[in-house]
Structure 1
Amino acid sequence: MTALGFLYPGHSAEDDYPRMEQLLGSDIRLAVIHTDIGEDAHRVDALLRMGAPDRLAAGVEELRLSGAEAVVWACTSGSFVFGWEGAHDQVRDLAKAAGLPASSTSFAFAHAAGEVGADRVAVAATYPEDVAEHFVAFLRAAGIEVVAMRGSGIITAAEVGTWGYEEVLALARAGDHPDAAAVLLPDTALHTAAHVRDLEHDLGKPVLTANQVTVWEGLRLAGRRVNAPALGALFTREPIVQVPS
């Protein structure tokens, strides 16, 4: 049994995690611990408060009780807004507080892009463009070229959490670029666990989504590799097949 812990801000798309747990197999358990979201706003000052050390540390005791072997801060915007060095400090502080290997969704995207061989990516973000630009800067610091970025101007995680497949597909299509080897959807408030394979078939390339890469990162920290084709190219070596329209 491999147990993984995820610190998830508020309540939006946390039901992606039990769905992914079912797809990964019976020997993997995903424990979601909710942190205080504070002000629900995709705004830099609010995001810095959301990812502050005391907010994350508040979930550490429950995390320990879950028996987790590793922990991931399941929030992209609440990590990349700290910048490359600040995001490293954030996960170091979390690892120290939890006594466990730790990472965040922002680093998960960087590692996952490398896993699927995507050194040139397109970003399709729910955020306002000024916030999305911080993610672009983070990826560039990781050595990843961003060939296109699209922001959607959505302010709250609550609104993002109401999006269904059609909205997610429209976002991915709008953010894609012919030169991108993968499309990144960086918001853990966005329901994507049921849609990754369909998105990849539509776009004909790997699609990396926030909750998907967060779970993959937890498995990576725990030294596990799981073949789960329903979760897309990141979880399988099988080629992506373009489905005719």
Structure 2
Amino acid sequence: MTALGLLHPGHSAEEDYPRIEQLLGSDIRIDLVRTDVGEDARRVDALREMGSPERLAEGVQELRHAGAEAVVWACASGGFVHGWEGAQEQVRALAQAAGMPASSTSFAFVHAVRELGVHRVAVGATYPEDVASLFAGFLRAAGVDVVAVKSSGVVTAAEAGTWGEPELLALARAADHPDAQALLLPDNALHTAAHVTALEKELGKPVLTANQVTVWEALRLADRRVNAPELGALFTREPIVQV
């Protein structure tokens, strides 16, 4: 049994994780610990506070007791708003507090892009424009070529959590770019686990979503690789890459 630990702010889209766990197989367990959201606002100051060391440290004891082998901060915006260096420090502090390998959804996107072997991506962000731009800057700091960014201006996780497949498909179509080899949807509050394959079929290219890459990152830290085509190209043995 491989136990994966996730720190997740609040309840938005938490239903994605049992679905992903079921698709991964019976020997993988996802332990989800909810952290204090504070103010549900897509403002930089609120997002930085949401991912503060104190808030994250509160949940790690429960994950240790559950036997988690790795921990991932399951909040993209609560990571990349700190910038590249700040997000690295956040993860280092989390690993020290947890006593196990640690990462965040922000770095999961970077590692997943590299896993797929793509270099040019488009971003479909629910966030306000300034926050979406920070995610693009984070990716560029990692050497990823961001060819397009679409912002939807959603100001709370609660609102993003109400989106279904029609809204996801509309965002994906609007955000996609002919030069992009993959599309990234960076919001853990979106319910995406049931829709990744539909999104990839619609666009004809890999689609990376926040909850999907978060679990993949935890598996990577635990040195596990799982073939689960229902979770998209990232979880297949031979990633789809457009050149």
Q: Deviations over 1:22-47 (max 9, x none)?
A: 00000000011000000000110000
Structure 2: which 5+ runs fail to align? none
For the pair 1:125 / 2:90, whether they are aligned, the reply is: no
**Per-residue displacement from partner, 1:150-200 (whole Å, max 9, x unpaired)?**
000000000000101000111111100000000000000000000001100
Instruction: Work out the CA distance in 1 between the residues paired with 2:87 and 2:176.
Output: 26
Unaligned runs of 5+ in 1: none
Residues of 2 paired with 1:178 and 1:88: CA distance?
A: 32
Aligned amino acid, residue 196 of structure 2: V
Does residue 28 of the first structure (1) align with residue 4 of the second (2)?
Answer: no
Q: How does 1:42-191 map to 2 (within 5 A)?
A: 42-191=42-191
TM-score for the superposition, normalised by structure 1 = 0.97
Deviations 1:194-218 (A, max 9, x none): 0001100110000000000000000
Letter in structure 1 aligned against 2:83: G
Matched pairs, number = 241
Query: Is contact 2:75–2:187 with CA below 8 Å preserved after alignment?
Result: yes
For residues 134 and 56 of structure 1, the distance between their equivalents in structure 2, rounded to whole angstroms, comes to: 21
1:41-78, Cα deviation, whole Å (9 max, x unpaired) = 01100001000000000101111111100000000000
Structure 2 length-normalised TM: 0.98
For residue 88 of structure 1, give the secondary structure of its aligned residue in structure 2.
Answer: helix
After TM superposition, give the deviation of residue 239 of structure 1 in Å: 6.3
Contact 2:116 2:240 in 1 (8 A): no
Q: Counterpart of 2:204 in structure 1: which amino acid?
A: G
* Dislocated runs of 4+, deviation >4 Å: 238-241
Contact 2:33–2:62 (CA<8 Å) still a contact in 1? yes
Cα contact 1:204–1:240 (8 A) shared by 2 = no
Deviation at 1:240, TM superposition (A): 5.2
Percent identical: 75
Deviations 1:55-107 (A, max 9, x none): 00010111111110000000000000000000000000000000000000000
